Structure 1
Amino acid sequence: MRSISLIVLFFLGFGSVIFAQSDSTQSEGKEPSKFDQFNQKAEKLFKIIPVPLYSYSTEAGHIVGLAKYNLIDLDKRDTISQPSRIAEVVSFSTEGRINMSVSTDFIWNENKYMVLGFINYRKQNEYVFGIGNDVIAEDLEQYGFSRFRFVNTGYLMVAKDLYVGLGFDISDYTDLEYDTTGILVQDDAVGLTPNTNFGINLATRYDSRDNRYNPFAGEYASLSYTFYPEFIGSQYQYSKFNLDLRKYYNPWYKHVIAMQATTTFCTGEVPFYDLALMGGENTMRGYYQGALRDRVLVDTQVEYRMPIWSIFGLTTWVGTGRVAHSYEDLALNGFWISYGVGLRLMVDSEHQTNLRFDWGFGQNRIKGFYINFAEAF
C-alpha cells in the first residue's frame, strides 16, 4: 500500500470510445447521432476482442496483459434468466508476477439453476502488517507464493429468489518465500510451508436484484459455510463462515443508493493466507487486501451511484471495517475508514453493465486504484 499505482487501460485512449449506446438514442423515431452510431459498432467490437491493459506499481513493476468480459444469454428463448458471465484475465509483470484467471456465472432455466466459480493461477508477492487489527505501517512485510485455486458452487432455486448450494474450494500453495525473522514467524502463523487444501462449501442465498452486475433495486443475502476436513485430503483442518447482506434503492431515474454489510468468521487451524482479509477492490477499497487479517472480519459500506451524461456515470462511497481474533474482541475505537470516488463507463447496453474506475482512500494516506467490470457489489 506504500506504492503509488499508475494504471492505464486501453480504454483511456482508443478504448474511450468503445462504449455503449447513449440513452438519448432510445427515443422512438429519433435518428441516432454519429456518436451513438459509432458507439453501437464499437460495442460489438468490444464483445469480440480482449482489452489490453497496463499498470505500474513499485512492488510489481510494469504489468501488461489482456482482459475479456462478456455477458451472454445461454438460451435466447429464456427471457427470464439473468445473463451469464464469462471473464478472463492474463497478466505478467517485470517483477515476476503472473496472474491467469477465468471466472464464470452460468444461469439458466428461468434462474432456477446457477453454477458460479473461477479457476486461477497466481505467482506474486503480497504484503502483510501481521495478524490482528492493531498494526502499524512500519511492520509491513512481504511474502511470495505460487497458488493454484479452483472454486465452484452449484445452486438450486427452492423458492422465489431463494437458492441452496453445494460446492468445493481447492487450493495449492507452493514456492512460499518470507522473512524467517519477520512478523509471520513471530506470530507463529499457520501455512508457511507448501500445502494443499480441499474445502466443501454449503451455501444459501436470496437474490431479488433486478440486475446482478449493475443493480438498481432489490435485495441480496448470502450465507456460506466452508470446511476443510482431513478425510478428503486437506493439510489444515479449519472452517470459514461468510455472511453478505446488500440492499439497493432507486430514489429517482438512474440514481442508486447501495448498502452492504459483511462478516467472516474462521475457526480451526486457519492458514494465514486464508484468514478473514480486509480490503481489496470490492470492500474497504483503498486498503491492500490482506494487509489486515485475523479470524473475524466485519465491514460495511454505502455507495451513491448516479448518471452524468450519456455513457458516463459517477459513484462515491464511504465504508468502515476491522478485524479481530473473536467477536468479543471487537471495539468501536478500532474501526478503519474507507472512502472514494469512481467513474463508470457503460460497455454493454443490452445488459446495462459498466467498466469501473475506482479511487479508494483510507487512514494514514492509504490509497488504491482499481479497474474492473460490473459494480463492486
Structure 2
Amino acid sequence: MNKQHLQNLIFTFTISIFLVALVSARLFPDVPSLIPPGIPPATAWDAFRNFTGCHHGENYNGLSNLKNYFHRFGYIPHAPPTNFSDNFDDDLAAAIKTYQKNFNINITGELDEKTLHQIVLPRCGVADIINGTTTMNPGTETETTSNGDSNSKPRFHTVSHFTVFPGQPRWPAGKQELTYSFYPGNELTKTVKSVFATAFARWSEVARLKFTETELYYNADIKIGFFSGDHGDGEPFDGILGTLAHAFSPTNGRFHLDAAEDWVVSGDVSKSALPTAVDLESVAVHEIGHLLGLGHSSVEEAIMFPTISSRSKKVVLTEDDVKGIQYIYGRNPSFNGSTTMSSPEKNSGNGGCRVASLWSPSILFPLLTFAFSHLMF
C-alpha cells in the first residue's frame, strides 16, 4: 500500500463518516445475520422474570428495580426519600394488585408467571396511573370536579374503559386541523413519513380532526422524532424493547420514539428475522391517541392498551378507542360506524427497518467496503 493510496483511504473513510454523522437517526434494511442464532436478545426488563414466586415479607436482591418500574408507571405513587428497598412490602403487594386489575389478570398480589410475563412486554412510556387520579380499568362513568375549590383534584372523566388525562386536556375546540412535523436531524424518508400519515388518518376518520404535515418543525403543533437514552424531556429511553415511545398530552405536542428499537416500516412484521422487531405504525397510532388526550385502556384489543408484543401489529381502532376520541372531539360527520381502513389486517413485516446508531456494524461495514473499493481501484 503506497502513501497515496493510504491518503485516499483515510480521506474517503472520513468523508463517509461525516456524511453519516449529519443524520442522527438512519433507517436501514433488516440485517438478520447480526443476530446470533438461538440466543434471545437481552431486553430492558428480562431480569424481572427471576422474581416469579417471590413472597410478601421477604427480601430479594434487585426487587427495588421492580418497585422503580411500578413507580414509573404510577402504581407506587410516592418514591422514598432515598431508594426503594428490596423488601416485598405492602406497597409492592398493593401495586401488583392494581396492576393485575388493570391488565385483566387474576388479582392475587403475587408475582406469578402471568403477571411477570405481562410486566416484561414492550410498552408505551406513558404512565397507566397519572398523579394518582386516573385508572386504566374504571368500568363505569365517573367524574371529579373542583366545585369551585381550587385546591381539590382536577376534573377527570372516564367512560367505559377508555380514559383521559387529568383535567381532560384537549386541543382547542376551534382548532380542528393540527400540523405535525419531523425532527430534521432524523432525515426520515417519504416511506417512513407515510406510516405516520396513515396513523393520523385512522384517528381523523372517526373524529372531528384533520392533520397536515409541515416542514416547519418548531412551529408545528405536533413534533415527532427518534431519540436515544436521555434526550432532555425527563423520560429517558432504555434501549431495545422496554419502553418504545412516549407522547405528551395536549397541547404539548411532543412525540418521541426510541431510536434503539428495530422499527419495521412495511411488510409482514410477524415474519421479521429480528425477534425484537416493532411495528412502527402500531406504536404511532397508540401515541397519537395520547397526543390527542387519551390515556391507557384496559381493553386488550384496544389501540390504547399500554403493551404490544414484538413482531405483532395492531393498528385498527376498536369501539373503545372510537368512543374515547369522539367523547373528546365529537364524531366525524362522514364516519358511518365502521372504519374504512379496518379491512382484515394481520400481524405483518418482512424484514424491517430500524433507527441505528452511528457505529452500527451495518453502517460501518458498507463504509469500509466503500473506502477499500476506492483504495483498490
TM-score band, normalised by shorter chain: under 0.3
Higher helix share: 2
What's the TM-score once normalised by structure 1's chain length?
A: 0.21
Instruction: Give the TM-score, by structure 2 length.
Output: 0.21
Q: Which has the higher strand share?
A: 1
